Structure 1
Amino acid sequence: MSGGTTTKGKNKKQPENPSKMTKQTLSVEATGELAREASLDSISLQIRTLTAEIKTELQANKEEITTEMRKELSEFKRDINKLLDNMDKEIKEQTERIQDGETRTEELEQWSYDANKAIQHMLQQQKYMEDKLEDFEARARRNNLRVYGIKESKEAKPSELKDMIEGWLKKELGLEDDLQIQRVNRAQAPKPREGQTPRSIIIQFQQSKTKDMILYKAWEKKKMTFEGEGVYFDHDYTAKVLQQRKAYLPIKKKLKSMKIRFQTPYTKMRIFWEDGMKIYNNAEEAARDLKTRGCEVEGFQMAEEGIHKDKETNVKGLASWKQVGDIGTMKDRVRERLQEYELRRKKTDGGEETRGSIAQEK
């Protein structure tokens, strides 16, 4: 044991000098502080260097971006100005066209007004001439008598027709006096084929009273024949009168089926109803009255007079046209429409106008 205790005592260090240890500690701390300061200075230098580089790059980028933006804005402004110039040019052209259109419209309106008056006058003159011509033709036919039903093979030659008809009339009606027939001829129409309805024969008398006397005797006799075949007489009507009388055919057919007495003097119709006689001026009027009496006329077409009334209505429609307002009023209407068009165009092109205004402000 004594040996072990002796060894331990020998290995135990003796305590150092305290003042020496303090100096060493201070020296180490001072060295560490200097190292930290040097490290901080290096980092600060690196930061300043990096900051300077970033500032340089930012300045270069700023100048590049500014230059590029200015270039793009300049191009954009140039495009906008060009577009505005084109729009101004187009608006100017449209304004000129509208002004030209106003002038042409004024001229056309005046021309239409004058033309309508001229057409109205011409239509009135035409109707007047048609009426005069109709009256002249009716007077020229006043001495004529038409005979229907004589076959065309009965006369050997056209020159023999007059003698044949005059001898037949005297024999059939028991006349002895001279009939004063001036001319006898077939109606001016293509010769029908065998078996078809023959053309009527027109007899022209010197005096209308002779024609009326023969026509009255023929109607009084009721049944006239030529070589055993039935014939009938009638006035020599104009084409217009024939058309008006033809419109009565469906009505005549209906009245005959109902066994109602009627007469057709010239262009009118006389019907003898149970409540009294009534005269109708045209077929349409007669058909309308029959319908109110419960007699529907089948296959009826509007009479020529009714068609003529429609034409007169159309003519009156043309005649009722008149110039609306004066030229100044028409200009105001055109100007208002132009302003409405401009407003619609601005609403449609609102985006383009917004961009243009921004470019101008910049």
Structure 2
Amino acid sequence: MEASGEAADNGGEALAEDVTPALHKYLMDITKEIRELKNDITALNTSFKQDFASFKEDVYNKLKANKDELQDQKKSFNEAQTHIEELEAFNLEAKDTLLTTLHEQRKLQDKLTDLEGRSRRNNVRIFGVPEGAEGDSVPRFVEELLQRKLTLPEGTSLLIQRAHRATARRPGPGETPRSIIINLLRFDTKEMILRKAWQKRVKLGNSPLYFDNDYAAEVVQQRRAYMEIKKTLKAKGIRFQTPLTRIRIHWTDGPRLYNSAQEAAKEMRKRGMDVQMKEADEERTMEERIHAAWTWQHVGEPGACGGLTQRTRGRLQEFRRAEDRGNI
């Protein structure tokens, strides 16, 4: 028994001696592989850190570039917004200045028209006299024509200062003859001639003659706008009068005075009348066209261009003061 036990111990020691080198080699191999794996992981980690750092730097650079670009765009947008605000302010101030100037120009034009009308208040125009019928002296022809055709009281002195054809191109055969303008010394003589001429039909041969006031060109243009209105009223048998640049219509509910052809036409359409106005007669005024074209409105305080209107208004006020001093 003892012999067999010793044999077993000796066999175990021999097996241990055989296994230990193999295990040691195995462990060494594992350790080596672990060390190599660790080195690979370390190298991979270093490469990853480098790649991540490079990626981070690229992202940072791109974000910085985008930020700079956004700041530039914001700056450009702010500058564009400022320019637009300045442009809006300028346009609004220019609109106000233009409307103010147009208003002042209209007032001056009205004054000029009034002065011209006053200088013509002793004038009479005769329409329809054939060209050449006046002979070599228009004043003498007119004197004889009025005395004969209007049956003026005997001994009436017309006191004609000047008489001549309208200063226009001499018409050709078949064209409308030029009117004759008569300047009288006395206003009451002019009124008497028109009153008598309007009470009867005056003819020179087969040519009907028409007598009227000598209006300024602007007044003639405004009166011409009532042409279609007067035709419609005549067809309806409605009485009307045209004092200077207005029209008075005698409706069944009483007379009404209208300041423009557009105003009268609007009223006639309301009353069921078909008035065919020419396009030129219904043309909008300059102020209406400016309001339609400029749709911007003032919002808040005026911009940097506000001084433009102030300077213009100041000059206009200086002009008005100088004009008022001249009228004293």
2:122 pairs with 143, 156, 162, which one?
143
Shift of 1:126: 1.9
Shift of 1:98: 6.8
Look up the match of 2:31: 52
Tell me if structure 2 keeps the 8 A contact 1:283–1:302.
Answer: no
Look up the match of 2:276: 298
**Residues 73 and 189 from structure 1, CA distance in 2 versus in 1: closer, same or farther, beyond 3 angstroms?**
farther
Q: What letter is aligned with 1:186? A: R
Look up the match of 1:268: 246
Q: SS state of the match for residue 210, structure 2?
A: strand
1:165 aligns with 2:142: yes
Shift of 1:152: 2.8
Shift of 1:127: 2.8
Tell me if structure 1 keeps the 8 A contact 2:246–2:258.
Answer: yes
5+ residue gaps, structure 2, are 304-328
Look up the match of 2:204: 226
- Structure 1: how far apart are the matches of 2:284 and 2:246? 16
Root-mean-square deviation (CA, aligned residues, Å) is: 4.3
CA offsets 1:49-86 (integer angstroms, 9 cap, x no match): 44234223322322322222232233234334434544
2:265 pairs with 282, 287, 290, which one?
287
State how 1:29-108 maps to structure 2 within 5 Å: 40-41=19-20, 44-45=23-24, 47-86=26-65, 89-90=68-69, 93=72
- Structure 2: how far apart are the matches of 1:189 and 1:247? 22
State how 1:295-334 maps to structure 2 within 5 Å: 295-299=273-277, 307-308=284-285, 311=287, 324-325=300-301
Look up the match of 1:249: 227
Q: What letter is aligned with 2:126? A: V
- Structure 2: how far apart are the matches of 1:259 and 1:131? 33
- Structure 2: how far apart are the matches of 1:230 and 1:111? 59
1:237 pairs with 199, 215, 229, which one?
215
1:210 pairs with 189, 194, 200, which one?
189
More helix by share: 1
**Residues 242 and 307 from structure 1, CA distance in 2 versus in 1: closer, same or farther, beyond 3 angstroms?**
farther
- Structure 1: how far apart are the matches of 2:212 and 2:150? 16
Tell me if structure 2 keeps the 8 A contact 1:254–1:297.
Answer: yes
Which has the greater radius of gyration? 1
Q: What letter is aligned with 1:324? A: G
Shift of 1:139: 1.0
Q: SS state of the match for residue 43, structure 2?
A: helix
Look up the match of 2:324: none
Shift of 1:114: 6.4
Q: SS state of the match for residue 297, structure 1?
A: coil
5+ residue gaps, structure 1, are 1-18, 328-362
Q: What letter is aligned with 1:195? A: G
- Structure 2: how far apart are the matches of 1:274 and 1:286? 15
Q: What TM-score do the two structures reach when normalised by structure 2?
A: 0.70
Shift of 1:165: 2.8
Q: SS state of the match for residue 245, structure 1?
A: helix
1:133 aligns with 2:137: no
| Bigger relative contact order, structure 1 or 2 (CA pairs below 8 A, ≥6 apart) | 2
**Residues 325 and 174 from structure 1, CA distance in 2 versus in 1: closer, same or farther, beyond 3 angstroms?**
closer
- Structure 2: how far apart are the matches of 1:218 and 1:323? 61
Shift of 1:151: 2.9
Tell me if structure 1 keeps the 8 A contact 2:245–2:260.
Answer: yes
- Structure 1: how far apart are the matches of 2:214 and 2:224? 14
2:180 pairs with 190, 201, 206, which one?
201
Shift of 1:295: 2.3
Which has the higher mean CA deviation after the structures are superposed, 185-194 or 164-173? 185-194
- Structure 1: how far apart are the matches of 2:20 and 2:170? 138
Q: SS state of the match for residue 271, structure 1?
A: strand
- Structure 2: how far apart are the matches of 1:96 and 1:239? 58
Q: What letter is aligned with 1:132? A: K
**Residues 68 and 266 from structure 1, CA distance in 2 versus in 1: closer, same or farther, beyond 3 angstroms?**
same
- Structure 2: how far apart are the matches of 1:64 and 1:139? 110
Q: What TM-score do the two structures reach when normalised by structure 1?
A: 0.64
Tell me if structure 2 keeps the 8 A contact 1:150–1:231.
Answer: yes
Q: What letter is aligned with 1:162? A: P
Tell me if structure 2 keeps the 8 A contact 1:109–1:323.
Answer: no
**Residues 263 and 131 from structure 1, CA distance in 2 versus in 1: closer, same or farther, beyond 3 angstroms?**
closer
Q: What letter is aligned with 1:171? A: R
- Structure 1: how far apart are the matches of 2:84 and 2:250? 60
Task: State the percentage of identical aligned residues.
Answer: 34
